[in-house]
Structure 1
Amino acid sequence: MAAYLRLRDVTLGYDRHPAVHHLSGEVASGALLAVVGPNGAGKSTLFRGIVGILRPLAGTIERGDPDVRDIAYLPQTTDIDRSFPISVFDFVGTGLWRSTGFFGGMGRQARGRIAQALAAVGLNGFENRAIGTLSGGQMQRMLFARVLLQDAAMIVLDEPFNAIDARTSADLLALVRRWHAEGRTVLAALHDFELVRANFPETLLLARGKVAWGATAEALTADNLQEARRMCEAFDDGAAACVVDDMPSRAA
């Protein structure tokens, strides 16, 4: 299967201090890939690079036919300003911006699509609620509804099942399976190894750098998990800034 996403010796970080080191690999079109690793392994940093929020310090991120506008990104809920005065309906409606534009009208068809997305994630009756009033599980359902509306070829999910109840996890995991069955490329940062083993055929085990990348059963071995912990514990946050070539890197 053709590569949808190709990472070539990618280093990502902040203020020239790397959080992901020299990562290379390919994600095939239609892949269902889990990205796992200890806290501080660089999973969120990697995803910010893939979706175009963060520019590589070195190396390149090459995408398939679609550009970054055809990637749906579900951030961690901690990245959402829950004090912002917006309703659930209007927040989910931002998933239509790619087709309507920032100032596009909210016509009958668009409103119908938003209602369908809310129904698909079990949020009927929450349309007029302020996002700050939602529970953790309701917040994740809302974020999944926005992803549904984006109708993207690649879906990037950062900790989509973190701190939510088992029923919500099962409902949202069914959506992930649906996207995969539709041929979309899905990447998810996860902590639950049993969930990964049961549902994700491919895994990238990350610990600032690549520990293993391939079939989940081969990536998530006891030896690899121990090595990932060792690599993260050995990382020195006070190390000197990363030295990169003078030529600027770019996300292709």
Structure 2
Amino acid sequence: MSAVRFRNLTLGYDRHPAVHHLDGTVAAGDMLAVVGPNGAGKSTLLKGLAGAISPLSGAIELGDAGRGKIAYLPQAAEIDRSFPISVFELVAMGLWRRTGLFGGLSRADRDAVDHALSAVGLTGFESRIIGTLSGGQLQRMLFARLLVQDAQLILLDEPFTAIDAKTTADLLALVCRWNAEKRTIIAVLHDMETVRSSFPQALLLARRPIAWGRTADVLTPENLTAARRMTEAFDDHAAVCAVAA
């Protein structure tokens, strides 16, 4: 059973492609790492999956994981930490599909937020303003928001960047627990050691797919060199590729 199918997918901005002609299937329950050089289109792919941008051509087809069952963690740099909101309030935003944007929280909802904060080690931080958190605490909070969403398809964009080793280990354990619950995980990652040790499947991107399959088969020196060369040679001003009928 597939969670996601890409059909000759091209994604980009202002009609300039960032991901070219991607075909393939993510099976339900897969744990897939998306890797590649800077500028390879990895974050763009996750934004396409999350519905933040539309395909320039081709399609993304979702299986049992519909749009309402997707949880998306953007890069930490995209979070506005100046907004005066508490940790509890931000985590509770993960419930908005159930409560509505202005709906009140039930006792069960508040218990779900408390449980999520406990699971990521942030009990006692409920009233803290998010701008006062360290990088590791911020990422724990964002994982708590993912927890309350209870999604079947979880998208993570560089979830372990610029955080301490203890937080990385704790959050990686949480990701592995989600996968053990048969949730589908697609994560953009840079640390190849983490990919090799924890992610059975990998997609190597360099604006176009270089390799996709078992991690050991994908992360070969030859494939990594090809990805680097492809990204270096890519023309950011090239026209959109024609798609055969």
Question: TM-score per shorter chain, which class?
Answer: over 0.9
Structure 1 stretch displaced more, 99-108 or 187-196:
99-108
Q: TM-score, normalised by structure 1?
A: 0.94
Q: Give 1:250's aligned residue.
A: none
Deviation at 1:67, TM superposition (A): 1.6
- Measured against aligned partners, the alpha-carbon deviations of 1:149-189 in whole angstroms (never above 9, x if no partner) come to 00001000000000111000000001111000000000110
Partners of 2:126 and 2:100 lie apart in 1 by 21
SS at structure 1 position matched to 2:179: helix
Partners in 1 of 2:74 and 2:213 — Cα distance?
Answer: 24
Unpaired runs of 5+ residues, structure 1, are 248-252
Identity over aligned residues, as a percent? 64
The one-letter amino acid paired with 2:38 is N
Query: 1:244, CA displacement in angstroms?
Result: 5.2
Residue number in structure 2 paired with 1:112: 111
Report 1:74-93 matches (<5 A): 74-93=73-92
**What's the TM-score once normalised by structure 2's chain length?**
0.97
Q: 1:119, 1:216 → 2: CA distance?
A: 33
2:40 aligns to what SS in structure 1? coil
What are the superposed Cα offsets for residues 59-97 of structure 1, whole Å, 9 maximum, x if unpaired?
A: 000000232111000110111111111111000000111
Alpha-carbon offset, residue 18 of structure 1: 0.4
Deviations 1:38-78 (A, max 9, x none): 11110000000011111000000000023211100011011
Match of 2:30 in 1: 31
Structure 1 residue 107, shift from structure 2 partner = 2.1
Question: Which one-letter code corresponds to 2:165 in the other structure?
Answer: A
Q: In the alignment, which residue of structure 1 is the partner of 2:160? A: 161
SS at match of 2:205: strand
What is the identity, as a one-letter code, of the residue corresponding to 1:221? T
Q: CA deviation at 1:243?
A: 5.2
Are 2:3 and 1:9 aligned?
no
Distance in 2 between residues matched to 1:148 and 1:228, nearest whole Å: 34
Contact 1:57/1:244, CA 8 A, preserved across alignment: no
For these two proteins, the number of residue pairs brought into alignment is 244
Other structure's SS at 2:37 match: coil
Partner of 1:242: 240
Contact 1:58 1:244 (C-alpha < 8 Å) held by counterparts:
no
Contact 2:3/2:65 (CA < 8 Å) preserved in 1? no
Letter aligned with residue 163 of structure 2: I
Q: Which residue of 1 aligns with 2:122?
A: 123
Kindly indicate whether residue 195 of structure 2 is the aligned counterpart of residue 211 of structure 1: no
2:198 alignment counterpart: 199
SS in 2 for 1:217: helix
CA contact (8 A) 1:7 1:61 kept: yes
* 1:68 match: 67
